[in-house]
């Protein structure tokens, strides 16, 4: 990060402060295109993963204990598996079904490994939910859809938002899976940075890595702040209930 402001291509000797590498970065068409691919895939993957994860979490929460445990075990597989194994598996799967590597394969892979994180963020909110709230809404005349939108979703919304942000962060930060599933015209920023390191390195790599690091760091701070606030709210609610 420090040498992204170095007024020289040297990565050992400091020659003075400059921001020219960031200016050149903004004029690099390949990097700008990869940034566009990264953000586009991350947004689409986060939205789809949030929708699928929320629906899946509600369904898993209403299952019997043994079935719920089995589904949660399956849900943990993508998070406990090696990124290399996942990337190769996706590549072989897409090749087997005749799907050429591109935006579609990249998005499908990202949705697959992002969805479990959404489920894990929504499940605790469902456990904290009052079991009688849904039935009470039905008794008061609400339809099942109205009870879902006006009772269930507002209560679990913090978990949904946190899961969506985490899915977006995981998508932006991914390299290994993207490397095996991206096409030649759909390479995200992480893959382009790796390609740049195979040639003569310039401080532009430092600049783009610095921006990517700061971006992911801000998102992680937002996630932790939201979780901290949720914990404080729960503690305040418990104290009020106890008093």
Q: What are 35-85's pLDDT values in tens digits? A: 899 989 999 999 999 999 999 999 999 888 899 999 989 988 888 888 899
Q: What is the DSSP letter of 3?
A: G
Instruction: Classify the C-alpha dihedral 21-188-115-89 as positive or negative.
Output: negative
- Give the mean model confidence (pLDDT) for residues 167-186: 90
pLDDT of residue 12: 73
- Residue in the structure block whose two tokens are 């998102």: 219
E strands, 33-111, in order: none
> In 3D, which of 144, 152, 147 has the Cα closest to residue 58?
152
Q: How confident is the model at residue 241 (pLDDT cuts 50, 70, 90)?
A: low
pLDDT computed for residue 37 by the predictor:
92
Paired residues of 17 in beta bridges: 6
Q: Where are the alpha helices (DSSP H) in 174-202?
A: 176-181, 189-197
Total number of domains constituting the chain = 1
**Domain assignment of residue 217, given as a range:** 2-242
Q: How far apart are CA 5 and CA 16, in angstroms?
A: 8
Beta-carbon contacts of residue 40 (< 8 Å; ≥ 6 apart): 103
pTM score, two decimals? 0.81
Q: What is the pLDDT of residue 81?
A: 86
Kindly report the CATH number assigned to the domain that includes residue 116: 1.10.3720.10
- Give the model's confidence band at 113: pLDDT under 50 very low, under 70 low, under 90 confident, else very high: very high
What is the mean predicted confidence (pLDDT) over 206-216?
83
Model pLDDT, residue 78: 85
Confidence of residue 128 (pLDDT cuts 50, 70, 90): confident
Encoding tokens for residue 242?
A: 């106890």
Mean pLDDT taken over the chain: 86
Given a contact cutoff of 8 angstroms between Cβ atoms, the answer to whether 79 and 119 are in contact is no
| The pLDDT of residue 242 is above 90 | no
* Angstrom distance (rounded) from CA 172 to CA 182: 14
* 82 C-beta neighbours (distance < 10 Å), count: 10
Contacts of 143 (CB under 8 A, 6+ apart): none
Q: Which helix (H) or strand (E) holds 106?
A: helix 103-128
Work out the average pLDDT over 128-139.
82
**pLDDT over 90 percentage in the chain:** 33
Q: How far are the Cα atoms of 57, 68, 197, 233 from residue 3, in angstroms, in the given order?
A: 45, 50, 16, 43
What angle (nearest 5°) sits at the alpha carbon of residue 200, between those of residues 195 and 203?
90
């Amino acid at each position: 990060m420090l040498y992204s402001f170095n007024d020289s291509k040297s990565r050992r000797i400091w020659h003075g402060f400059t921001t020219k590498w960031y200016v050149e970065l903004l004029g690099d068409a390949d990097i700008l295109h990869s940034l566009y691919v990264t953000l586009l895939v991350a947004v689409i993957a986060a939205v789809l993963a949030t929708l699928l994860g929320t629906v899946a979490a509600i369904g898993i929460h209403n299952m019997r204990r043994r079935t719920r445990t089995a589904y949660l075990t399956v849900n943990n597989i993508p998070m406990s598996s090696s990124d290399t194994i996942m990337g190769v598996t996706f590549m072989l799967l897409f090749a087997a079904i005749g799907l050429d590597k591109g935006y579609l394969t990249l998005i499908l892979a990202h949705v697959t490994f992002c969805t479990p994180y959404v489920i894990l963020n929504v499940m605790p909110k469902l456990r904290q939910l009052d079991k009688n709230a849904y039935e009470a809404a039905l008794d008061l005349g609400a339809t099942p859809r109205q009870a879902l939108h006006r009772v269930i979703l507002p209560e679990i919304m913090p978990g949904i938002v946190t899961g969506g942000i985490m899915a977006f962060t995981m998508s932006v930060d991914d390299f290994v899976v993207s490397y095996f599933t991206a096409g030649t015209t759909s390479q995200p920023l992480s893959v382009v940075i790796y390609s740049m390191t195979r040639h003569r390195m310039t401080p532009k790599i430092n600049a783009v890595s610095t921006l990517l690091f700061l971006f992911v760091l801000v998102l992680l701070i937002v996630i932790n702040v939201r979780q901290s606030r949720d914990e404080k709210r729960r503690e305040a609610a418990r104290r009020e209930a106890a008093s």
